[in-house]
Amino acid sequence: KLVLGIETSCDDTAAAVVDETGNVLGEAIHSQTEVHLKTGGIIPPVAQQLHRENIQRIVQEALSASRVSPSELSAIATTTKPGLALSLGVGLSFSLQLVDQLKKPFIPIHHMEAHALTIRLTNNVEFPFLVLLISGGHCLLALVRGVSDFLLLGKSLDIAPGDMLDKVARRLSLRKHPECSTMSGGKAIEHLAKQGNKLLFDLKPPMHRAKNCDFSFSGLQNVVDKIIKQKEKEEGIEVGQILSSAADIAAAVQHTTACHIAKRTHRAILFCQQRGLLAQTNAVLVASGGVASNLYIRKALEIVTNLTQCILLCPPPRLCTDNGVMIAWNGIERLRAGLGILHDTEGIRYEPKCPLGVDISKEVGEAA
């Protein structure tokens, strides 16, 4: 079995060909990050235009690199949900043309399902396992019971942690900091935090009383904003200059973020273990997404997995961010399970909003 995977849900145009055993035969990606950095965020029509300009070439590159002829493909898998409508639209219409031309089955892919299943390409992980997805756009905790069988244990009630870290980094003007000018916001915070004292600011972990596994980061962001304003006054500097306490603020934010993420994850593991949804020993927790590359946050997660006798696994960084490989692999998983393979694409639509799996965060609350 060979699947061509196509991803355009956000700001990366990506494609890959993957075989049944998880061999990546060819892959290509075009990142729009540089363009969006200049405008200070993604402007959907710009993202759409860039996807349009690049999709043909990226798919061609992935196919050529794989040395697979299109006629040998078993199916074409494409992200159809969730994501930016204009971006999803480009990938879907391109794929539908290809499907029509090649007369191949089509497999619509849920972007978060693909992120969650990636670990099965690199590691021998059986269902069920727990997954924590934390990035600039995602924040969720789910029990993965099968290829398309997810129990959503928690999600962010407002923004994702990477989004919060990026906003704090921007507010601290870390792009002007000589040591972090080329780093993403989260990476810059991690770097500066090493030089700071995390205890100088008393930040409360969000939702510490909430009896569920949900997350929240916008309250923390507001508190940090106020601290920064206060410090600017005290140090007598303008907005846009680097505070002398920037490293201490970075350390405090990182620490509080790590505590919050680890505590919610701990709750989720205990909930699953108590109900027999996860084994008492050697259950797997997968942490993925850009924020999971933060070593301080990983340490916090390790404390939790050690306490609960779980195993912490993280996909390699290049598979943690958006890519075509995870979409193709999700296609392989679905082919093997015989799930969601379409021979007729009439009426297929993209869905900008689409929660993953069954939500039981309320049940978790009642149980606690």
Range in contact with ligand ATP (rule: CB under 6 A) among 89-97, 289-297, 333-341, 346-354: 289-297
Q: Which of 105, 128, 196, 289 binds ligand ATP (CB under 6 A)?
A: 289
Q: Counting contacts by CB under 6 A, is residue 165 touching ligand ATP?
A: yes
Q: Across the strands, what pairs with 18?
A: 3, 24
Range in contact with ligand ATP (rule: CB under 6 A) among 17-25, 179-187, 197-205, 301-309: 179-187
Please identify the residue of the shown chain whose CB is closest to the bound Fe ion: 322
Q: Write the DSSP symbol of residue 352.
A: S
Locate 49 and state its tokens: 């235009």
Strand ranges for the chain from DSSP E: 2-7, 12-19, 24-31, 75-81, 106-110, 129-134, 139-146, 149-155, 283-288, 310-313, 358-359
Range in contact with ligand ATP (rule: CB under 6 A) among 99-107, 222-230, 290-298, 301-309: 290-298
C-beta of 273 vs 288, nearer to Fe ion: 288
From the number of C-beta atoms within 10 Å of its C-beta (0-12, 13-18, 19+), residue 267 rates as buried
Task: Return the SS3 of 21.
Answer: coil
Q: Which amino acid is present at 329?
A: W
Least separation, in Å, of the C-beta of 22 and ligand ATP? 21
Q: Counting contacts by CB under 6 A, is residue 162 touching ligand ATP?
A: yes
Is-contact 212 364, C-beta < 8 A? Answer: yes
Q: Counting contacts by CB under 6 A, is residue 137 touching ligand ATP?
A: yes
- Give me the 294-323 binding string for ligand ATP, x by CB under 6 A, dash otherwise: x-------------------------xxx-
- Give the footprint of Fe ion on this chain (CB under 5 A): 322
The residues binding ligand ATP (CB under 6 A) are 10, 135-138, 162, 165-166, 184-187, 190, 289-291, 293-294, 320-322
